Amino acid sequence: MTQYDIEDLSVAAVYKSYPEDLRNKLLALRQLIFETADAIGDVVLTETLKWGEPSYNASGRAGTPIRLAPSREKSTYGLFVHCQTSLIAEFKERYPDIFHYRGTRAILFSPDDTIAIAELREFITTALTYHRRKSLLVKC
């Protein structure tokens, strides 16, 4: 595997339960989340299950959790965030045509999509630092 082995057996079991093509795409997103957290520098990432799906959160409530999962239709997959954050609205405004959004909760990908990696890294960074950024804005 990679330097980001799955240590939690329940998380590993969920990934293993997905069809191979979907599993590989979700694991690539997982890799991107870990690489992005490493690039931020002061973020310690926690990998758990939330609602039976792999979830990634920065320790110390710095960010909001990112979940990885197939969509309800199972034909798409993506990143899911808390619906009460402003993340999806911010990125819809910034990148209206780069991602497929669902409501206030998700960025979805079709199996054949080419993923805009730089913009997705930006989204992940923004999610992993969401509360820290919001608290800085309130103090100003």
Q: pLDDT tens digit string along 22-57?
A: 999 999 999 999 999 999 988 889 999 999 999 999
Q: State how far the alpha carbon of 126 is from the alpha carbons of 5, 90, 117, in Å.
A: 24, 10, 14
Residues 61-115: tens digit of each pLDDT = 788 999 999 998 778 999 999 998 999 999 999 999 999 999 999 999 999 999 9
Rounded to two decimals, the pTM is 0.90
Task: In whole angstroms, give the CA distance from residue 138 to residue 88.
Answer: 20
Domains identified in the chain and CATH numbers: 9-139 (3.90.1150.200)
